[in-house]
Structure 1
């Protein structure tokens, strides 16, 4: 198994240096995907790219989080990685959990290792409660409780199976990506290991969630997944029976 970290970056010039340092301390190679950041952040990424085992992929036009992750996964495969750890650039994910995630991936190399957040008091209550609507839709659209939290951006993908799904069908390119790829990977037959992970929201954190636009995209995603589930329902139910 060749595991590395893919980090989509859009104007997170402050925390990204610490995130990269923490990942390198665990021995992971790092792939930074610059999603058309402003010049100050881009300069920080240029400096980080001079470090050993740090690679920079720069997108000329902003693609959104999902588009940046997809570009990163494709580049990771070109680098010879078999698995990619997706982690956010803002420092909200606890890199101390990297070893346990890596061990889970080594034990089940064909599965997605999906973070299941444990929040501290820094989490905005509206965001915390709002996640449950997506959880319920995911459980409906998979006819399963296999994916405990589809919105956590801290997870490990087996690249062969994940890229096969990405190349075969449309996946949302913005904040709808994390949930949609998780559901479609499950539909493809990929099993999921849920791993608890600590998540905090830094006081000076930068959020790129667009309340109206991204909620519309997420609603559209749930709609297309629901109709996709309907014709897959017999196979999904049989999978539960056969398990």
Structure 2
């Protein structure tokens, strides 16, 4: 597991970050914390934690660039450090930290695969967010020509960098919330296998969501439209891969 790292995007999420790093520290893996233009208070906390934890690698954006760009920055940093995989986990307390070992284990069993969280929600999930996810899922299934991606919006996942970084270097991405879905579709276009891991997701009392209903839904719509056009251009290749996959079973 020496080639693995954690990538944690942070934008004004001070409530759970220290506890998260304390939990991750037990794995003795690089913890790449991307400060995406947080305010003075959160920035100072992150710099203090950078000094406190040996394995923290702090990368800072001077201004907020969006979660998608923060993740891309973290993945590129992981590659620069000579690592092969990066487990992304959000800093807002939504994810079940007890499942981290399970995600890492699944990735080690399937090193070429994209390992993604398949959320199991409790009653804390806002109903509007829940219904909106299904609309995105439908677009992802259409644009990927596959049902293999069970949930494209969960920020709990393990990236195989050898497959991911070339896509980041050649494609134009929506830098905010749309990135989580778009990168998965583009990985599927390259015939990267997927492993779905059921995991509990909550919306904690002190959780802070930066999802902007108008801005981010518009961004998602633009991303899905761009992906649909890309899917049509790649349709012969995607159908060939789909047919080959069915005959290999």
- Aligned position for 2:44: 43
Residues in 2 aligned to 1:179 and 1:131: alpha-carbon distance in whole angstroms: 10
Residues in 1 aligned to 2:175 and 2:211: alpha-carbon distance in whole angstroms: 13
Residue 203 of structure 1 and its aligned partner are, at CA, apart by 1.4
Structure 2 residue ranges without an equivalent (≥5): none
Residues in 2 aligned to 1:28 and 1:198: alpha-carbon distance in whole angstroms: 23
CA RMSD of aligned residues (A): 1.0
Q: How does 1:165-204 map to 2 (within 5 A)?
A: 165-204=167-206
Whether the 8 Å contact between 1:115 and 1:196 is mirrored in structure 2 is yes
Is 1:242 aligned to residue 244 of structure 2?
yes
Q: How does 1:12-31 map to 2 (within 5 A)?
A: 12-31=13-32
Whether the 8 Å contact between 2:86 and 2:161 is mirrored in structure 1 is yes
Instruction: Provide the secondary structure at the position in 2 that maps to 1:85.
Output: strand
Whether the 8 Å contact between 2:178 and 2:216 is mirrored in structure 1 is yes
Whether the 8 Å contact between 1:30 and 1:55 is mirrored in structure 2 is yes
Instruction: Provide the secondary structure at the position in 2 that maps to 1:49.
Output: helix
Residue 25 of structure 1 and its aligned partner are, at CA, apart by 2.5
- Aligned position for 2:143: 141
After superposition, the C-alpha distances for 1:115-137 in whole angstroms (9 at most, x for unaligned) are 11011111111111110000001
Residues in 1 aligned to 2:64 and 2:137: alpha-carbon distance in whole angstroms: 28
Residues in 2 aligned to 1:157 and 1:202: alpha-carbon distance in whole angstroms: 26
After superposition, the C-alpha distances for 1:170-190 in whole angstroms (9 at most, x for unaligned) are 111101110001101111221
Structure 1 residue ranges without an equivalent (≥5): none
- Aligned position for 2:33: 32
Residues in 2 aligned to 1:108 and 1:178: alpha-carbon distance in whole angstroms: 20
Residues in 2 aligned to 1:54 and 1:18: alpha-carbon distance in whole angstroms: 13
Whether the 8 Å contact between 2:10 and 2:91 is mirrored in structure 1 is yes
TM-score (ref. length: structure 2): 0.95
Flag as ranges the 4+ runs of structure 1 deviating above 6 A.
none
Whether the 8 Å contact between 1:26 and 1:98 is mirrored in structure 2 is no
Residues in 2 aligned to 1:152 and 1:27: alpha-carbon distance in whole angstroms: 24
Whether the 8 Å contact between 2:28 and 2:55 is mirrored in structure 1 is no
TM-score (ref. length: structure 1): 0.97
